[in-house]
């Protein structure tokens, strides 16, 4: 399914998603340059766009107010929650055409901005690869006041061990700098694996502290099935956040 085309035309069958109807939905979407990484035919940014578009249109279909905070290493765009399909389509359009002014990734400003913007309890979907400086406190503070869902998009190459392919040009998506990495070096591969392990431990610690069970998406697959599981209410009408308490 072509998610971008469907989102633009407003043709998504959003009835599969059941959201909390008495709360608005705020989308906090990471549009930083690192999202342009993709080794499976699509990149992380495209998956984030698809997932956020699905949720925005699902909310409009269910008469739920929806807003968005687009972030990089700063707050790029704030769209307050409103109802209606036209507003949801505006969010989709803004997301698809957004180009970050910031050159890096920092989730904290966006998480804090969402908290300031929201008054009463709301649903907040944070969509990112979560490869960012320490965001544990900001995520925990937001989750203590709102029903937060973490939607994490990754690419296999940044999660697994590096293959031995000799010298590999590595481009930093956020700075544009290129350096050569010797993948034939056992020590180099071990160092890279240790860095990934440390990064993932920090991400898992932040999710655990905020009592979040992240929804995992990948550049290898489409987001609909995982999103539907993540936003379907539990038994007795209780939300995912309530079930974790």
Note whether 148 and 212 are within 8 A (CB): yes
Which ranges of the chain does DSSP label H, i.e. alpha helix? 3-9, 44-61, 85-97, 107-117, 136-145, 186-209, 224-231, 240-244
Least confident stretch, 48-52, 181-185, 208-212: 181-185
pLDDT tens digit string along 133-161? 899 999 999 999 999 999 999 888 777 67
Of residues 157, 121, 161, the one with CA closest to residue 142: 121
CATH of the domain at 99: 3.40.50.410
| Number of domain units in the chain | 1
Predicted model pTM: 0.80
At 13, is the pLDDT very low, low, confident or very high (cuts 50, 70, 90)? very low
Residue 13 is assigned to a structural domain of this protein: yes
Q: What is the dihedral of CA 96, 153, 54, 58, to 10 degrees?
A: -130
Domain residue limits at 126: 3-157+212-228
In sequence order, what are the residues at sequence separation of 6 or more whose Cβ sits closer than 8 angstroms to the Cβ of residue 62?
A: 14, 17, 18, 19, 21
108 in any annotated domain: yes
Residue 70 included in any domain: yes
For residue range 57-89, what is the model confidence (pLDDT) as tens digits? 989 988 999 999 999 989 999 999 999 999 999
Tokens standing for 176?
Answer: 């544009």
pLDDT for 234: 43
């Amino acid at each position: 399914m072509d998610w971008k085309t469907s989102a633009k035309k407003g043709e998504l069958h959003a009835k599969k998603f059941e959201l909390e109807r008495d709360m608005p939905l705020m989308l906090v979407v990471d549009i930083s340059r690192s999202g342009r990484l993709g080794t499976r035919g699509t990149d992380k940014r495209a998956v984030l766009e698809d997932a956020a578009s699905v949720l925005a249109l699902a909310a409009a279909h269910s008469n739920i107010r929806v807003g968005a905070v687009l972030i990089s290493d700063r707050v790029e765009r704030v769209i307050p929650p409103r109802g209606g399909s036209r507003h949801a389509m505006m969010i989709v359009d803004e997301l698809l055409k957004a180009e970050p002014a910031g050159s890096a990734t920092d989730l904290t400003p966006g998480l804090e901005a969402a908290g300031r913007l929201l008054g009463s309890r709301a649903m907040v979907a944070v969509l990112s690869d979560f490869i960012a400086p320490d965001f544990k406190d900001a995520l925990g503070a937001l989750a203590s006041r709102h029903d937060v869902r973490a939607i994490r998009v990754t690419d296999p190459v940044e999660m697994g061990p590096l293959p031995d392919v000799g010298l590999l040009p590595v481009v930093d998506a956020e700075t544009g700098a290129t350096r050569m990495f010797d993948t034939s070096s056992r020590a180099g591969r071990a160092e890279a694996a240790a860095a990934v392990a440390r990064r993932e431990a920090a991400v898992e610690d932040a999710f655990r502290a905020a009592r979040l069970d992240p929804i995992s998406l990948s550049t290898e697959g489409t987001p609909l099935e995982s999103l539907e599981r993540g936003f379907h209410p539990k038994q007795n009408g209780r939300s995912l956040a309530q079930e974790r308490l």
